[in-house]
Chains A and B, each alone.
Chain A
Amino acid sequence: MRYLPLTPDDREAMLATIGVQSIDDLFLDVPEAARLDGPVNLPLRATELEVERAFARMAKKNISAGEAAFFVGAGAYKHHVPSSVDHLIQRSEFLTAYTPYQPEISQGTLQTLFEFQTQVARLTGMDVANASMYDGSTACAEAVLMAARVTRRSKAVLSGNLHPHYAAATHTACKYMDIATASQAPVPGALDDMIAAIDEETACVVVQNPDVFGRVHDLAPIAEAAHAKGALLIAVVTEIVSLGLMKSPGEMGADIVVGEGQSIGVGLQFGGPYVGLFACRNDRNFLRNMPGRLAGETVDAAGRRGFVLTLSTREQHIRRDKATSNICTNSGLMALAFTIHMTLLGEKGLRQLATLNHEAACTLADALANVPGVELVTPTFFNEFTVKLPKDAAGVTESLIAKGVLAGVPASRLYPGKGLDNLLIIAATETNTQADIDLFARALKEVL
Chain B
Amino acid sequence: MAMNTQGRPSRPVSNIEQGGYADTFSGSRGLDQAEPLIFERGRTDITGVDFPKAKGTKARLGGLERTDEIGLPGLTEPEAMRHYVRLSRKNYAIDLGLYPLGSCTMKHNPRLNEKMARLAGFGDIHPLQPQSTVQGAFELMGELAHWLMTLTNTPCVAMSPKAGAHGELCGMMAIRAALDARGQSGRRRVLVPESAHGTNPATAVQCGFYCDEIPAGPDGRVDMDAFKAKLGDDVAAIMLTNPNTCGLFERDIVEIARLIHEAGGYFYCDGANFNAIVGRVRPGDLGIDAMHINLHKTFSTPHGGGGPGAGPTVFSEALAPFAPVPYVVKDGEGWRMVEQEDEAEGEPFGRMVAFHGQMGMFTRALSYMMSHGADGLKQAAEDAVLNANYILARLKHIMTPAFDGTCMHEALFDDRFLKDTGVTTLDFAKAMIDEGYHPMTMYFPLVVHGAMLIEPTETESKSGLDRFCDTLESLAKAAKDGDTVRFTSAPVHAPTKRLDETRAARNPVLVWTPPAETLEAAE
Chain A residues with CB under 8 Å of B501's CB are: 103, 298, 308, 310
The distance from the CB of B458 to the nearest CB of chain A, in whole angstroms, is 6
Complex interface bits, B93-116 against A, C-beta within 8 A gives 1, otherwise 0: 111100101001010111010111
Q: Bound state CA distance, A368 and B478, in angstroms?
A: 76
A-B contact pairs, 16 of them (CB 8 A): A5-B462, A93-B89, A93-B92, A98-B438, A99-B306, A108-B91, A138-B166, A245-B66, A270-B127, A272-B355, A297-B509, A305-B3, A332-B303, A352-B49, A358-B61, A398-B132
CA distance A176 to B356 in the complex (A): 22
The 8 Å CB contact of A343, one of B74, B91, B350, is: B74
Report A-chain residues with C-beta under 8 Å of the C-beta of B305. 94, 97-100, 106, 108-109, 332-333, 336
Q: At the interface with chain B, which of A153-161, A246-254, A438-446?
A: A246-254
**Minimum Cβ distance to chain B for residue A128 (Å):** 5
Q: Are A29 and B360 in contact (CB under 8 A)?
A: no
Given A299-B1, A347-B69, A62-B282 contact (CB < 8 Å): no
Q: Which of B49, B67, B162, B279 contacts A272 (CB 8 A)?
A: B162
Q: How far is the CB of B314 from chain A (nearest CB, A)?
A: 14
Contacts of B109 on A, CB cut-off 8 Å? 95-96
Cβ-defined contact, A135 with B353, below 8 A: yes
Q: Once bound together, how far apart are the Cα atoms of A113 and B372, in whole Å?
A: 34
Q: Is the CB of A247 within 8 A of B386?
A: no
Interchain CB contact under 8 A, B430 and A344:
no
Check: A151 CB closer than 8 A to any chain B CB.
no
Query: B206 an interface residue at 8 Å Cβ cutoff?
Result: yes
Residues on B with C-beta less than 8 A from A94 are 84, 88, 91, 93, 304-305
A256 at the interface (CB under 8 A from B): no
Chain B residues with CB under 8 A of A321: 201-202, 204-205, 210-211
Pair A296/B112 contact, Cβ less than 8 Å? no
A325 at the interface (CB under 8 A from B): yes
CA distance A27 to B441 in the complex (A): 24
Q: How far is the CA of A363 from the CA of B59 in the complex (A)?
A: 11
B126 with A268: CB separation less than 8 A: yes
Instruction: Report yes or no: B116 in contact with A52, Cβ–Cβ below 8 A.
Output: yes
State whether A114 touches B512 (Cβ < 8 A): yes
Is the CB–CB distance between A332 and B307 below 8 Å? Answer: yes
Most buried by A among B49, B115, B343, B406: B49
Asked whether B61 lies within 8 Å of A294 as measured between CB atoms, the reply is no
Taking the nearest CB of chain A, how far is it from the CB of B352, in angstroms? 6
The docked-state distance in angstroms from the alpha carbon of A39 to that of B250 is 22
Interfacial residues of chain A within 310-332, with CB under 8 A of chain B in the complex: 310-313, 315-323, 325-332
Chain B interface size band reads 35 or more
Task: Please name 12 further chain A to chain B contacts, defined as beta carbons within 8 Å, in addition to the given A59-B121, A323-B205, sorted by A numbering.
Answer: A6-B383, A6-B387, A18-B406, A27-B280, A34-B286, A88-B85, A94-B93, A97-B303, A118-B39, A218-B62, A293-B306, A346-B47
Q: How far is the CB of A254 from chain B (nearest CB, A)?
A: 13
Q: Is the Cβ of B130 less than 8 Å from the Cβ of A178?
A: no
The residues of B that contact A318 with a CB separation of less than 8 Å are 198
Most buried by B among A25, A74, A347: A347
Given A340-B84, A346-B72, A46 contacting B371 (CB threshold 8 A): yes
Instruction: Using known A-B contacts A270-B359, A303-B1, determine if residue A115 contacts B37 with beta carbons closer than 8 Å.
Output: yes
Task: Tell me if B481 counts as interface (CB < 8 A to partner A).
Answer: no
Q: Which of A13, A35, A343 lies at the interface centre, i.e. has the most chain B CB atoms within 10 A of its CB?
A: A343
What is the 8 Å Cβ interface bit string for chain A, positions 1-44, against chain B (1 contact, 0 not)?
11111110011011101111001011101110111100111111
B251 neighbours in A (Cβ, 8 Å): 29-31
Given contacts A268-B123, A347-B72, contact A413 B339 (CB under 8 A): yes
- A205 proximal to B (CB < 8 A): no
Partner of B13, one of A60, A97, A304: A304
Among the listed B72, B356, B497, which residue makes an inter-chain contact with A122, where contact means beta carbons less than 8 Å apart? B72
Chain B residue nearest to A32 in the complex (CB) = B254
A285 in the interface, Cβ–Cβ < 8 Å?
no
- Chain A residues lying within 8 Å of B462, measured Cβ to Cβ, are 5-7, 10, 13-14
Please tell me if A359 contacts chain B, counting CB pairs below 8 Å: yes
Question: How extensive is the interface on chain A, given as a class?
Answer: 35 or more
A389 within 8 A of B: no
- B379 near A18 (CB under 8 angstroms)? no
A398 to B135, CA, bound (A): 14
Q: Which of A11, A137, A296, A356 contacts B508 (CB 8 A)?
A: A296
The answer on a CB contact under 8 Å between A306 and B499 is yes
Known contacts A98-B303, A107-B91; is-contact A268 B125 (Cβ 8 Å): yes
Quick check: B136 and A327 within 8 Å, CB to CB? Answer: no
Chain B residues positioned under 8 Å from A176 (CB to CB) = 173, 176, 206-208
Closest-CB distance, A334 to chain B (whole angstroms)? 6
A192 contacts partner chain B, Cβ-Cβ < 8 Å? no
Assuming A18-B390, A61-B121, A346-B44, is B498 touching A301 (CB within 8 A)? yes
Q: Give the Cβ gap from B279 to chain A, nearest Cβ, in Å.
A: 6
In chain A, residues 348-397, which have Cβ atoms closer than 8 Å to a Cβ of chain B?
A: 348-350, 352-353, 355-356, 358-359, 362-363, 365, 379-382, 397
Contact with A along B174-218 (1 / 0, CB 8 A): 001000000000000000000001110111111110110000000
Nearest Cβ on chain B to A22's Cβ, whole angstroms = 10
Say which one of B227-235, B259-267, B417-425, B488-496 lies at the interface with A: B488-496
Question: CB within 8 Å of A: which of B42-77?
Answer: 42-49, 51-52, 54-55, 57-75, 77
Name the one of A74, A112, A301 contacting B128, with C-beta atoms under 8 angstroms.
Answer: A74
Contacts A33-B285, A100-B305, A104-B499; A111 near B374 (Cβ below 8 A)? no
The complex places the Cα of A322 from the Cα of B198 at a distance, in Å, of 10
Does residue B129 face the partner (Cβ distance < 8 Å to A)? yes
B87 to chain A: closest CB distance in Å?
Answer: 4
- Which chain A residues border B135 with CB–CB below 8 Å? 61-62
- In the bound assembly, the distance between CA atoms of A134 and B95 in angstroms comes to 25
Are A72 and B128 also in contact (CB < 8 A) when A45-B371, A243-B66 are?
Answer: yes
Picked from B51, B282, B304, B511, the residue with its CB within 8 Å of the CB of A127 is: B511
Query: Does B510 lie at the interface of the complex (its beta carbon under 8 Å from any beta carbon of A)?
Result: yes
Closest to A397 in B: B130
Q: Does B134 sit within 8 A of A, measured CB to CB?
A: yes
In the complex, chain A residues 102-134 whose Cβ is within 8 Å of any chain B Cβ: 102-109, 111-115, 117-119, 121-123, 127-129, 131-132, 134
